[in-house]
Amino acid sequence: MTTTIVLQQAINGIVLGSLYVLVALGLTLIYGVLVQINFAHADFVTLGAFAAYFFMHLVGLGYIPSIAVALIVGAAMGWLINASIFTPLRRKNNELLPLIATIGVSVMMQNLMLAWFGPIPYAFETEFSRHVIRFAGIFVSWQNVIIIVVSALTIALLYVFMKFTFLGKALRAVSQDRETAGLMGINPNFLIMLTFVIASALAGMGGAMLAPVLVLTPFAGTSVIVKAFAIVIIGGFGNVEGTILAGLIVGLIESYTTQFLNPGLIDIVVFALLLLMLAIRPTGLISERREENV
Amino acid sequence: MSALLEIAGLELAYGQVAVCRNISLRLDRGEIVALIGANGAGKSTTLRAIAGLLSPRRGTIAFGGRDVTALPSYERSKLGIALVPEGRRVFPFLTVRENLELGGFNSRKDPSTLKRRMERVFAMFPRLSERSSQNAGTLSGGEQQMLALGRAMMSEPQLLCLDEPSLGLAPIIVHDIFQTIRAINAAGTSILLVEQNARHAFETAQRGYVLQTGSVIASGSCATLKRDPRVQEAYLGRTATRR
Amino acid sequence: MTRTLRTLCTSVAAIGLLTIGAVAQAQDKTIKIGALFPMSGPGSYFGTQDKQGVELALEQINQTGVNGYKFAVHYEDSACSPLPATQAAKRLIEQFKPDVIIGEECSDATLAVMPIVEQAKVPLLNAGSSSIKITQPGNPWTFRIMPNEVMQGINLAENAYRRMNARRAVLLFENTNAGIGNAQVFKENFTRLGGKVLAEIGFGRDVNDFTAIATRVAGLGEVDVIPTYTLEGQGLKITQALAQAGVTKGGGGNAIQIGTIWLPFGFEQKAGKAALGYIRIVQFDPTDARPVARNFVSAFKAKYNTEPTHLNAHAYDQIMLIADVVKRGGKDPETIREGLAATKNYSGVTGSVEFDKNNQNVKMDTIHYMETKPDMSWVSLKWN
Amino acid sequence: MSATADGAAGEPLLRTQELQKNFGGVKAVSEISFDVPMGAIFAVIGPNGAGKSTLINLISGVYRPDAGSLSFDGVDLSTMPAHLRVRFGIARTFQKIRLFRQLTALDNVIAGFHVHHKIPAWQYLVHGAAFTADRRRCRDQAMQLLEFVGMSGRAHVPAGSLSYGEQRMLELARALATKPRLLLIDEPAAGLNAAEVDGLLDRIRSLRHGGTTVILVEHNMDLVMNVADRIMVMEYGRRLFEGTPAEVQKNPAVIAAYLGGELL
Amino acid sequence: MSETVFAQQWLGKATSSRARFLGYLTAVAVIVTLPLVFNDTYWRTNLTVCAINVLLAIGLDFILGYAGQLNLGHSAFYGLGAYVSTLLIVKLAVPFWLAFVAGVAFAGLAGTFLSLFAVRLRGHYLAIASLGFAVIVHQILLNWISLTQGPLGIYGIAPPPALVVDGTVIADFRNLTAFFYLVAGFALLSFLLLSQLVRSPVGETLTAIREDEVSAASLGINAAAWKVFAFGVGSAIAGAAGCFYASFVGTLVPDAFFITEAFNILAMVIVGGMGTLIGPVFGAVLLTILPEVLRGLGDLRLVVYGAALTFVVLFIPGGMAQAANAVGERLWRRRSA
């Protein structure tokens, strides 16, 4: 009985963790390349969820195509916020200003969505939500299977992109040394834009994947973003592998805290882990450290 | 011979602090030209301006007869300017092979050319081939310098700018590096060299420009420069003669 | 600089006063109703629906007026939070000078507003906050037409124990004033009767995935009832997760979810098969045969083209009760307060109203039990 | 003129033993031992990347040594944090200029008085007579220091807007504000023109007359040969040679390694 | 960054001590007259909220603008001040002013503790660590029900006891005007002390740390200790704001100290102009009044608020201090021309 529960909670945790990874990866990518935090990232998630909802309900092509639509909507938002906020502020070379600006954008987006979509939660039902696989006391809904599969595929695709394509390598180069990347013939501005688009596309897609899980209101993304920040730090800012690992860990913490402690304590446990991480390994789970040159 | 690089009246500054006041120089196709001077004279800054990392306050940079003053670094790279920056600046968390591939970013759509170039670089520096799947950050100083040089060569530039290639390297390695530099030049690449090691600079280059506090104070063939007292002064300070 | 700012503030304040004043003085004989609803943030879930009910009621009573009075409503965003609610209440009282105030939904906000209305001597009519503190001790200026957490909790616990023969319960509740309060009352009464509470699982409003909670409930062994105190959004997720985990009837288990009036009509349709067997208290029953309910439902559908919720109904009832008080002679804050206190057997959409000495509605016909059938329709359980 | 003879007799002001510092497997400084006598001007030369700046960073406390020890006036410095070393009388300038760019030149120097304020703590909140006196004293002394480095006319210019040479001089003035017994100067002549170098040379000499011991890292041989009592030559993190200027100039290994052989 | 520099120069240096004295006199006059000009309870409430927010903003500015530490968790200290003082009053019947001191001290100690822990962290790491701290504090307030009542809240918190001298009531804090004078007076005093502090060597020390810690260490500055000090002072001031909040609103629930509150305070500092003390004062006033003034816009009020915040950052990155500076400079130029 207990092993079943532990196993079941592991599955629950991994499902949730893979969703967090999708959201946190975007934050990490942006941080890696720009050393900036985008607070509006959460609202891209929400927007992606709504895009998927309305596409499903107005166009009626089913859930899977709606994920693609959410991805595109997220990408477009990423492009927009990069062009309107980060590009003009990059010249000011200040780490605070873009952060505050994105808080402003976040307030604006949330309330615009509130005006358009209203506060009453949308029931996001997909054709997979109600089908449950049961095996030896373990249950998984098809929706969750899709979440795991799509997340794993996305992460794999992203990995292939970063590892094996020229653009992906260029992107990593830009995050390590923007100036030298320029010497290679790489246009850093283009790649920063690309990073934003990819990160936001992930957020949008994350939204579509989260939509059946989330309580879908204009404030839905906010509930995820604080944890996403924790994941990004636990994984090490700008570190993709660390973020994936940390995302899964936080997902597991959430399910095991629920099982053995109390769901009210989830945030305390997650952020205690965060502070512990910062105390013992300030650069994250998988460390990349450089000496300061004086 | 025609001028590959022609710089006129360059004034460069970081923020409000002027570093170079009036730099004019010229480099012909096939030449190795050395820029020499004491620390802080503005040598590296001049190279950065040539590569497009710093836009000048005043003055022009022409490359292959075309005014490139306003072009960003990645556009200049496409025209055939490559810079091996001070401190090598390899991408530490990319493998050696990935570093090299990025060096050939401009030819990314032509895999066969890239393959040929990479083989050439590996032939030049067999050590790199042995370590091709290692992260560049784990290489020794000398190996990083080889990588930086190889990476620059991956674009088969017309002009290769080298910023202190001997910095912090053991003599044997420095020797090797300079041999390679000469070989690269012999194969047709023009080279602009900033070097603190006077012997190597003068042994390698045909002509030189001497910089002092941001201005060119002497120029000419290396043979004549070697004997010019102003060179010793600019390079090493007025020597102990005054005592 | 400072002087400019002060001038600026004064002029802005003046403009504000003028606009509000203009609305207020449009009619000579007007009963001014101030509405404190959460209209920003997640709490706007309540405000939006409240507003619909109010608008419908206004439309109806202003066609003819009552005793020659027309009704005007001014909304302020009280944001479901003490300080904003205080600010909103003061602004409302100062600038709109209402004869009566309706709202807030969240107990914290209502409790924060109560001293202010008492000081200003303006009656406050509440229909959405369940905390017992609002009417115990309460104050003479605050009235509540909804049954409080104690009334609901005792009733629910007794019915669960006696009629459903439940002995083992698991409490699921959001970590809010109302969630905790309701769960505690149930627990006290259920254990007093001899039942056993196997687990109390509270969770924040930011918890999304309830599979983990459902898994935990499933691991607790035999469970008879699961009293659940959440809003619609999380409620849907919980019901589906419990069914998935095979805990509740909807998922082939034996446990039955029970709950208070928080969930809107239509919840079962949204939740689907998972909601099978759900038994809950509703205050507003759209199948209610009384004419007042019938008229409300049809008028609401005509105006908004959607089924009304209990929030719509409560807001509607608040206005209609005020209209009734005006009919009985209420014309200013003091007389409206007296009128409210004197209410006897007023029949509203959500049931009848009669206040005790603490101004709590004591009519138990506001507590109906409904059970969800396999076709997702409701059947009334007539447990009162 | 040379203080070497007197200084060698007494206890050295600074003594380093077998100092070692690694960066990711590279030995930036290895097995460096030397003594700096009281009142001496001790120069460290060597090619770029030889480990000179790392040595300065070890002495000033920016880095902790991986092995070896260093003591100042008999006090062990090995584990002492940088800011405490200042209280013992060690000050420094930086190779890559690190001024407070947004503060004026004057305020940069005043910031250097940090360890020398002697006012009761409450007067930080209620500015009384002692506070005003201290302010005036700091201001006056700061102006004197600016005058010393020839910058009294630029006192109210933000440091970031000063010319390169001025910034170097301002760093020197700021370091002097801490009233050091040992001053570490890292490439002060880099980017200076000949006239400025002359001025620098005079200032270093007058510092020595004032009793300050100086460790000078420099490429400018003119400067080094003219002011230094002793010179240590470094290469690849190791000590290649140590001696008087005359000895250094004659040593063939030094000439080969640093000066580029045939050039001189 | 350069915009803030100009603002600092103009606002910080160009004022002589006489001008400052006149400034404080004006401030006192403004504080005294404000409740007389705005003579309804709604605006008097807003005035007090402004004064509370001014306290929060100058406290954060001291940490952020002067010591250069990106603190995203200011709401935690605000909440700790509120809860500690209130719990002492409610549970142990401690006299208000003693509880006030305890609340301030506890918040200050919490800030010191966080800072000691986070002293190695820089930039965004510190930002997220402080954010994490704020999340934890909020969650503890929410979950430790036996102590804090959690979401059930604490109600009917009394205002500070009336000020009585020789049997005559001088100030009864149930009166809004008196309460405003109390908080505004405290804010003015805090401002005065902070301003004295930043114009003393402490100001230079903190600026030096903000600009370059390595360089500061080379001047004997113990950056870690001073950063902890600044954090402690800033969070203690937030604690004071919390004590006032509790006794002013009379109701205490943990959600009042959710992390969005920290963002609001941060926005006040930025919009006002960080690194100047006077800027955040106006930033706090503006961002407290703006949402109230925008109430007329109904649903779109927060959209406009968000847009305004973004706009300020994009076009006036030095905040109101920069704008005032630009205007002042232009006027000065015109006069001298």
E to D contact (≥3 Cβ pairs closer than 8 Å): yes
Max mean pLDDT range (E162-176, E253-267, E299-313): E253-267
Give the mean pLDDT of chain C: 88
- Tell me how far the alpha carbon of residue C47 is from its chain's centroid: 11
Looking at 3.30.1220.10, 3.10.20.30, 3.40.720.10, 3.40.50.300, the CATH number of the domain D1-89+180-264 comes to: 3.40.50.300
- The confidence score (pLDDT) of residue E292 equals 86
Question: Looking at the domain assignment, is residue C230 inside a domain?
Answer: yes
Does A183 reach chain B within 8 Å, measured CB to CB? yes
Q: Which domains does chain A carry?
A: 2-292 (1.10.3470)
The answer to whether B98 and B63 are in contact (CB under 8 A) is no
What would the mean pLDDT of B77-105 be, rounded to a whole number?
92
The answer to whether E57 and E194 are in contact (CB under 8 A) is no
**How far off is chain D from E107, nearest CA to CA, in Å?**
21
What would the mean pLDDT of E144-153 be, rounded to a whole number?
90
Binary contact (E207, D110; C-beta < 8 A): no
Q: How confident is the model at residue E2 (pLDDT cuts 50, 70, 90)?
A: very low
Q: Give the 3-state secondary structure of residue D185.
A: strand
- The confidence score (pLDDT) of residue D232 equals 93
**How far off is chain A from B47, nearest CA to CA, in Å?**
12
Q: What pTM was estimated for this model as a whole?
A: 0.89
**How far off is chain B from D107, nearest CA to CA, in Å?**
19
Give the mean pLDDT of chain D: 86
- The confidence score (pLDDT) of residue E175 equals 87
Question: Looking at the domain assignment, is residue C371 inside a domain?
Answer: no
Binary contact (C87, E251; C-beta < 8 A): no
D to C contact (≥3 Cβ pairs closer than 8 Å): no
Q: Helical H runs in C248-342? A: 267-271, 291-304, 310-327, 333-341
Label residues D135-146 b or e (16+ Cβ within 10 Å = b).
beebbebbbebb
| H/E stretch holding A46 | helix A41-54
% of chain C exceeding 90 in pLDDT: 64
In which residue are the tokens 């970013």 written? Answer: B105
Task: Count residue pairs from B and D with Cβ separation < 8 A.
Answer: 107
Binary contact (B236, D189; C-beta < 8 A): no
Domain locations in chain E as residue ranges: 25-257
Domain locations in chain D as residue ranges: 1-89+180-264, 103-178
Residue B170's closest chain D neighbor by CA?
Answer: D236
- Of residues A169, A179, A288, nearest to B102 (C-beta): A169
- The confidence score (pLDDT) of residue B238 equals 47
The CA distance from C211 to C151, in Å, is: 31
Tell whether C232 and C305 lie within a shared domain.
Answer: no
Binary contact (C206, A222; C-beta < 8 A): yes
**How far off is chain E from A283, nearest CA to CA, in Å?**
9
Binary contact (A120, C41; C-beta < 8 A): no
Taking 70 as the pLDDT cut, the residues of chain A under it are 1, 283-294
Binary contact (A291, D94; C-beta < 8 A): no
Query: From the CA atom positions of chain E, what is the Rg in Å?
Result: 20
Binary contact (D197, B237; C-beta < 8 A): yes
- The confidence score (pLDDT) of residue E318 equals 82
- The confidence score (pLDDT) of residue B169 equals 75
List Cα–Cα distances, A275 to A35, A267, A282, E71, E135, in angstroms: 20, 12, 9, 14, 11
- The confidence score (pLDDT) of residue A249 equals 95
Does E42 reach chain A within 8 Å, measured CB to CB? no
pLDDT over threshold 60, residue C8: no
- The confidence score (pLDDT) of residue B98 equals 94
The CA distance from A21 to D79, in Å, is: 42
Q: Give the 3-state secondary structure of residue C67.
A: coil
Task: Count residue pairs from D and E with Cβ separation < 8 A.
Answer: 98
- Cβ contacts of C243 within 8 Å, gap of 6 or more: C250, C251, C273, C274, C276
- Of residues A111, A262, A264, nearest to E302 (C-beta): A111
Look at chain C and report how many structural domains it folds into.
Answer: 2
Binary contact (E270, A100; C-beta < 8 A): yes
- Of residues C77, C133, C180, nearest to E155 (C-beta): C133
Torsion of CA E302, E307, E313, E318, to 10 degrees: -70
- Cβ contacts of D250 within 8 Å, gap of 6 or more: none
Does A179 reach chain D within 8 Å, measured CB to CB? no
D75 C-beta neighbours (distance < 10 Å), count: 11
Residue A268's closest chain E neighbor by CA?
Answer: E136
- Where does a domain end: C227, C250, C282? C282
pLDDT over threshold 50, residue D262: no
- Of residues A101, A230, A264, nearest to E313 (C-beta): A101
- Cβ contacts of C9 within 8 Å, gap of 6 or more: E38, E43, E289
The answer to whether B66 and B79 are in contact (CB under 8 A) is yes
Question: Looking at the domain assignment, is residue C35 inside a domain?
Answer: yes
pLDDT over threshold 50, residue D263: no
Question: Looking at the domain assignment, is residue C175 inside a domain?
Answer: yes
- The confidence score (pLDDT) of residue D10 equals 60
% of chain C exceeding 70 in pLDDT: 92
| H/E stretch holding B147 | helix B141-153
Binary contact (B105, A187; C-beta < 8 A): no
- Of residues C202, C219, C271, nearest to A1 (C-beta): C219
Selection from D97, A265, D232 nearest residue B15 by Cα: D97
The CA distance from C40 to E5, in Å, is: 37
Residue E243 identity: C
The CA distance from D233 to D221, in Å, is: 12
Q: Which domains does chain B carry?
A: 3-90+160-242 (3.40.50.300)
Question: Looking at the domain assignment, is residue C359 inside a domain?
Answer: no
- Of residues A111, A255, A264, nearest to C202 (C-beta): A264
pLDDT in tens, B111-130: 999 999 999 999 999 999 99
Tell whether C268 and C326 lie within a shared domain.
Answer: no
Burial class of D151 by CB neighbour count within 10 A (0 to 12, 13 to 18, 19+) = buried
Does E215 reach chain A within 8 Å, measured CB to CB? no
Q: How confident is the model at residue E308 (pLDDT cuts 50, 70, 90)?
A: confident
Sheet of C30-37: strand order equals: C70-77, C30-37, C100-103, C124-126, C142-144
Burial class of D156 by CB neighbour count within 10 A (0 to 12, 13 to 18, 19+) = exposed
Give the mean pLDDT of chain A: 88
Does C177 reach chain E within 8 Å, measured CB to CB? yes
For the residues of D203-259, what is the DSSP string, one character each?
HHHHHHHTT-EEEEE-S-HHHHHHH-SEEEEEETTEEEEEE-HHHHHH-HHHIIIII
Binary contact (B17, D160; C-beta < 8 A): yes
Binary contact (E42, C95; C-beta < 8 A): yes
- Of residues A111, A220, A254, nearest to C212 (C-beta): A254
Question: Looking at the domain assignment, is residue C238 inside a domain?
Answer: yes
Tell whether C189 and C247 lie within a shared domain.
Answer: yes
Residue D112 identity: G
Does A183 reach chain D within 8 Å, measured CB to CB? no
What would the mean pLDDT of C262-290 be, rounded to a whole number?
86
Binary contact (B105, A170; C-beta < 8 A): yes
- Of residues A111, A125, A139, nearest to C246 (C-beta): A139
Q: Retrieve residue C111's tokens.
A: 């409790």
Residue E253's closest chain C neighbor by CA?
Answer: C108
Q: How confident is the model at residue C14 (pLDDT cuts 50, 70, 90)?
A: low
What would the mean pLDDT of C21-29 be, rounded to a whole number?
54
Selection from A69, A113, A73 nearest residue A222 by Cα: A113
Selection from B145, B154, B156, B147 nearest residue B189 by Cα: B156
- The confidence score (pLDDT) of residue D42 equals 95
Binary contact (B18, D194; C-beta < 8 A): no
% of chain E exceeding 90 in pLDDT: 51
The residues pairing with D232 across neighbouring beta strands, listed in sequence order, are D44, D242
What would the mean pLDDT of C220-248 be, rounded to a whole number?
92
Lowest mean pLDDT among B178-187, B191-200, C342-351: B191-200
Binary contact (A173, B52; C-beta < 8 A): no
Does D113 reach chain E within 8 Å, measured CB to CB? yes
pLDDT in tens, C91-133: 999 889 999 999 899 998 999 999 999 999 999 999 989 899 9
**How far off is chain C from E164, nearest CA to CA, in Å?**
24
The CA distance from D142 to D172, in Å, is: 12
N-to-C CA span, chain E? 29
CATH number of the domain residue C347 falls in:
3.40.50.2300
Question: Looking at the domain assignment, is residue C305 inside a domain?
Answer: yes
Tell whether C212 and C260 lie within a shared domain.
Answer: yes
Neighbouring chains of C at 3+ CB pairs under 8 Å are A, E
Chain E hits for C34, CB-CB cut-off 8 Å, are none
**How far off is chain E from A198, nearest CA to CA, in Å?**
22
Binary contact (C204, E142; C-beta < 8 A): yes
Tell whether C50 and C81 lie within a shared domain.
Answer: yes
Question: Looking at the domain assignment, is residue C213 inside a domain?
Answer: yes
List Cα–Cα distances, A96 to A102, B66, B194, E209, E280, in angstroms: 10, 41, 38, 17, 15
pLDDT in tens, D216-229: 998 777 788 889 99
- The confidence score (pLDDT) of residue E10 equals 43
**E114 φ/ψ sector (left φ>0, alpha ψ -120 to 50, else beta):** alpha
- The confidence score (pLDDT) of residue A86 equals 87
E193 C-beta neighbours (distance < 10 Å), count: 15
Binary contact (B40, D190; C-beta < 8 A): yes
Name the residue with higher pLDDT: B171 or B133: B133
Name the residue with higher pLDDT: A40 or B170: A40
Lowest mean pLDDT among C45-49, C104-108, D219-223, E256-260: D219-223
- Cβ contacts of B15 within 8 Å, gap of 6 or more: D160, D161
Residue A91's closest chain E neighbor by CA?
Answer: E1
pLDDT over threshold 70, residue D259: no
Name the residue with higher pLDDT: C330 or B2: C330
- The confidence score (pLDDT) of residue B235 equals 57
CA torsion through residues A27, A31, A34, A39, sign? positive
**Structural domain that includes position C76:** 30-146+288-353
Tell whether C133 and C186 lie within a shared domain.
Answer: no
N-to-C CA span, chain B? 45
What would the mean pLDDT of C206-221 be, rounded to a whole number?
90
Binary contact (D24, A294; C-beta < 8 A): no
The CA distance from B232 to D255, in Å, is: 14
- The confidence score (pLDDT) of residue C13 equals 53
Residue A97's closest chain E neighbor by CA?
Answer: E313
